[in-house]
Amino acid sequence: MKPAYKSPEQWLGSVRFLAGVMESLAKHHTVTGIFHIGYKGTLQHNGVTYMFPGYSGWQLFFPLGFHHYLKKLRPDAVIVHGLKSPWQVLMLKFQLGSRVKIILQHHAERPYRDFRKYIQSWADRHVFAYLFASRELGLQWVNQKQINDRGKIKEIMGTSSPFAIAGKDVARRATNVKGEKIFLWVGRLDANKDPMTVIKAFSELVKTEPSARLYMIYQTFGLLEEVAALVDLNGATDHINLVGRVDHSALQDWYNSADFIISSSLYEGSGIAVCEALSCGCIPIVTDIPSFRMMTGNGTVGLLFEAGNSDSLLEMLHRSFMLDIPAERDKVLRQFKNELSFDANARKIMRVIEEVPEP
């Protein structure tokens, strides 16, 4: 639920990474998106009917009325966002019947460790498929016996980027980025995003590669004091720029200003910022975690480093200076188009929906 949004257009602008997949699906099927925000009504956009029925949190916790609302639409398949409502999934199957395929899309949830693991295992019997950004992420749920058939796991990110590659000169005039080799980091300043590892490695890099510049964009400020202190301690203030908060609409210029995108995340359900950067041709230097292995074609584009290891990142940063940037950028754009774009996601989801269930 996103009750803060009173305008459907404003809400749609905030979820373009998701809406674009639905709108690509709508080129081939009838697609209805049902969401719960601080607005009640309907919006038609790019072939998708967006419906906002206005149910309260309590009505969605016991969603008999909502599921009856869904049933009247006579869907062939329902994609449920998130794996955090197994009880509601059970109720959904009970009300819609066996004809409707229920598909769950992973949104960074971890396998349950409390009583809900038993409900999830029960609900799993009625789930047709799961969409995970990486098969490895899905296997974590199989190993915990909360998904009982690994064949249900489909490696589909389910989100993408609305951004596109543009001229670097124009983008850099908009962002005022300066430097010969530009590295960009976008994320929250928290322990999982691990900005400290990046600062340690980059501070060492510029001792031998003084032309390198790192720009760090962050929307939360939890570790800002520690980050700023480490930059200052390492004498890297001329090379590491703490940009701060940037409106999402302005990020396309930032991605197009950079040569490389760095992500130091310890865990990601997908990795929206990296996906957006890839759509603009940024070469990824990212942690060797399941979602990023999928996004980079198991490292066939960009460079992977060990999570939490500044020496491993430093090695990849040095290696980045040996890359043929134009050729590597072309590889990145092909990977994005073929595996991560809105149309690629829609194509993969259609294949799942069209699968014939086992007897």
pLDDT at 208: 95
pLDDT at 269: 87
Query: Full-prediction pTM beyond 0.85?
Result: yes
Instruction: Please report which residue ranges of 37-151 form alpha helices under DSSP H.
Output: 57-61, 64-71, 86-96, 116-124, 135-143
Fold of 168-340: Rossmann fold (3.40.50)
pLDDT band at 3 (very low <50, low <70, confident <90, very high): low
Pairwise CA distance, residues 178 & 157, whole Å: 33
Same fold, 8-160+343-353 and 168-340: yes
pLDDT band at 235 (very low <50, low <70, confident <90, very high): confident
Closest by alpha carbon to 39, among 12, 17, 21? 12
> Hey, what CATH class is 8-160+343-353 in?
alpha beta
Region 41-70: mean pLDDT is 92
**Could you tell me which residues come within 8 angstroms of residue 308 by beta carbon, excluding any fewer than 6 positions away?**
194, 197, 264, 266
pLDDT at 7: 87
Pairwise CA distance, residues 73 & 24, whole Å: 20
Element (H, E) at 23: helix 16-25
pLDDT band at 103 (very low <50, low <70, confident <90, very high): very high
CB–CB of 8/41 below 8 Å? yes
Q: Phi, psi at residue 262, to the nearest 5°?
A: -105, 135
pLDDT at 88: 92
pLDDT at 356 over 80: no
Please, what is the average pLDDT of the chain?
Answer: 94
Q: How far is CA 149 from the centre of its chain?
A: 25
pLDDT at 211 over 80: yes
pLDDT at 138 over 80: yes
Q: Please tell me the total number of residues recorded for the chain in this structure.
A: 359
SS3 152: helix
What is the DSSP code string of 202-230?
Answer: HHHHHHH-TTEEEEEE-S--TTHHHHHHH
- Residues 288-303, buried b or exposed e (16+ Cβ, 10 A)? bbbbbbbbbbeeebbb
Domain residue spans of the chain: 8-160+343-353, 168-340
Pairwise CA distance, residues 271 & 170, whole Å: 26
Query: Any idea which of 9-18, 189-198, 247-256, 276-285 has the lowest mean pLDDT?
Result: 9-18
